[in-house]
Structure 1
Amino acid sequence: MKKIITVIIATLLLVSCKMTKETYDSGELKKIGRTSNDLKDGKWKFYHKNGTIFQKGKYLKGAEIGVWEIFHENGKLHQIGKFNNGKQDGEWKFFYENGNKEGIGKLDNGKLIGQWNWYHTNGKTYTERLYTDGKLMNILNCFDGNGKKLDKGTLKDGNGTLNVYDINGNLLEVQNFKDSKYIK
């Protein structure tokens, strides 16, 4: 009896889940994974046109879940973090193509929260920012690529200016914010 039930369950799983595959016009694999009831369900992999992996993770009834990894075209890790019901959740880490850290912070239901640290391409701290419910509220610090503290601007409680610098400390732009929104 147990064998019959096991065979029935296995058959139902095989019938309800199918492997889905898509290629680029050039024939290279674009994505591959399982679907169930026309929704992504299970492990999926997506590829760059050059054949390297672009991202991989799991779906449950069409929504991303668990740990996802996203890669640069050179194969090095670009982002890693968790999804919960299709929304980024928890700590996310970002990396440059050279492997150095680019940023780190937390998300709650897809919205940036708390302190986020961003880095120059050499791995040294660039800026420290505070977010509330996905909104940029405050700039704590700003540095050049050697660690020298720079004028961060006046952004506080979502209003004011944010100074943007290159790795050498040259001012590139002054961005204006009102109610946490960038004003062009």
Structure 2
Amino acid sequence: MMKKVSLFIVACLAHLCSWGQTDSVSRDTLFEKAAEGLVRFYYDNHYYLVDKDCDFKSIERVSQFVVAKNAFHGEFKDFNSRGTVVLTGYHNQGAKEGLFSAYHPNGVLQWQVTFKDNKPVGDWKYYYPDGKPMLTVNFDNGTGLITSFWDRLGRQRVIEGDGSYEFKMPFEFYNEYGFPFFERKGRIRNGLPSGYWTTNMVDEKNKKVLFTEEVYDKNGMLTEGYNLFQDREYRIPLTIIPTQSFVNGERLISKPCTFDDYSGFNAYLSDRLNAAFAANPSFQNTEDEFSYRVTLDKQGEPELITLNQPLKTQALNKYLEMVVKDIPFYFPSLDEAGEPIEDALTVSGKLTISEAGVFNFHSLRIEREKQP
């Protein structure tokens, strides 16, 4: 579950001069007053706000903050848990301006780009941890064009927007396929994907399994996309350039300090429920809550699922029960030694149905009986 905290931040920052932990903070310290009128914000590595004592806290930002505009202002620096600078930049009343520089954990420049009016301009240059060039994406025309690419052996594979491209990226959050990485491979023409492209799932031992096949036209537009795991066509492809989560930091969204929230598993459950329930005009303007109990074995496989709190709309409960019983895996609970154990989970959430009959399952939360 993620919480929008912008209004909360406005209220609290307005009283930073007399800052103190209060009941309205819900026991979470997401930011604190720093020296010289600055504010220190606490993030996980995906740039979601977390409590400063949370195990998943990995980034601290020190910056000015304009309460009236609910926005960062001036120069800022982000530090990792070892106190090493990982990102520097400048905001003008919330808009990114000027040079932004990110750094690998070893202090080597990771990427660098200039922003104007909150948009990247010119070349966005990426580098490997040893400092060698990796990728250049040009934004002169407003759309990112890959102009140069070097593989890990230092060979330039894309020159002036033309060549072959093969790049491995991590999944940011939980995926039901069980692979930590995916690899995009294909041709680049005039800075854009062209012709036949593939996506491979990649495990920790670099074993690859074909995941998708795609065809792009001369304008870089996807004309055919097929997911081999799901046996279906699609129209929106995975990214071909590194994603940057630092922009999440400007949205001021927090996450509870649980692994299910941090890993994105709760968001995955929401997405799975929303995908299963199509829009139905017979159900409109509904606010409801639900919960179910699931017992897990040590591998995280569910053994028994029962609805604790059914939906008030009885006609939906049979289908809800069918959908949750089709979820094949939950993260297992751990004992004090970090070993997986059998446990029982209570999954609760909310359902909002719009005037058009669109279902939105949200605010999911998992409580574990044997693990705090």
TM-score category (smaller protein): 0.5 to 0.7
Q: Matches of 2:125 and 2:189 in 1, distance apart?
A: 16
> 8 Å contact 2:16–2:33 — kept in the other structure?
no
Deviation at 1:134? 5.3
- Does the C-alpha gap of structure 1 residues 155 and 88 become closer, same or farther in structure 2, counting only changes over 3 Å? farther
Write out aligned runs for 1:9-158 (5 A).
18-21=17-20, 30-33=30-33, 42-47=37-42, 48=52, 49=54, 54-60=60-66, 61=68, 62-132=70-140, 135-136=143-144, 138-150=145-157, 151-152=164-165, 153-156=187-190
Q: Matches of 2:155 and 2:79 in 1, distance apart?
A: 31
Q: Matches of 2:137 and 2:118 in 1, distance apart?
A: 17
Q: Matches of 1:149 and 1:87 in 2, distance apart?
A: 34
> 8 Å contact 1:21–1:32 — kept in the other structure?
no
1:101 alignment partner AA: L
> 8 Å contact 1:111–1:133 — kept in the other structure?
no
Whether 1:183 aligns to 2:198 is: no
**In the alignment, what sits opposite 1:9?**
none
Spell out, residue by residue over 1:155-176, the C-alpha distance to the aligned partner (whole angstroms, 9 max, x if none). Answer: 536x425999xxxxx9x99996
2:98 alignment partner AA: G
Spell out, residue by residue over 1:66-106, the C-alpha distance to the aligned partner (whole angstroms, 9 max, x if none). Answer: 10111222221111010011011111000111211110011
Q: Which has the higher strand share?
A: 1
Deviation at 1:140? 1.4
- Give 3-state SS (helix, strand or coil) of 1:18's partner: helix
Q: Matches of 2:96 and 2:117 in 1, distance apart?
A: 6
Q: Matches of 2:101 and 2:62 in 1, distance apart?
A: 15
> 8 Å contact 1:122–1:145 — kept in the other structure?
no
Q: Matches of 2:84 and 2:142 in 1, distance apart?
A: 27
- Does the C-alpha gap of structure 1 residues 89 and 19 become closer, same or farther in structure 2, counting only changes over 3 Å? farther
- Does the C-alpha gap of structure 1 residues 139 and 22 become closer, same or farther in structure 2, counting only changes over 3 Å? farther
Q: Matches of 2:111 and 2:99 in 1, distance apart?
A: 11
Structure 1 alignment gaps of length 5 or more: 1-14, 35-41, 165-169
**In the alignment, what sits opposite 1:160?**
193
Q: Matches of 2:81 and 2:71 in 1, distance apart?
A: 25
The Cα RMSD (Å) is: 3.8
- Equivalenced residues, count: 152
Identify the structure with bigger relative contact order (alpha carbons < 8 Å, sequence gap 6+). 2
- Give 3-state SS (helix, strand or coil) of 1:74's partner: coil
Q: Matches of 1:124 and 1:131 in 2, distance apart?
A: 21
Report the identity percentage: 17
- Does the C-alpha gap of structure 1 residues 155 and 63 become closer, same or farther in structure 2, counting only changes over 3 Å? farther
> 8 Å contact 2:62–2:76 — kept in the other structure?
yes
- Give 3-state SS (helix, strand or coil) of 2:139's partner: strand
Structure 2 alignment gaps of length 5 or more: 1-13, 43-51, 158-163, 166-186, 200-205, 223-235, 239-372
**Structure whose CA Rg is larger:** 2
Deviation at 1:17? 6.6
Spell out, residue by residue over 1:2-57, the C-alpha distance to the aligned partner (whole angstroms, 9 max, x if none). Answer: xxxxxxxxxxxxx98734355998x88541138xxxxxxx5101235368761101
> 8 Å contact 1:19–1:33 — kept in the other structure?
no
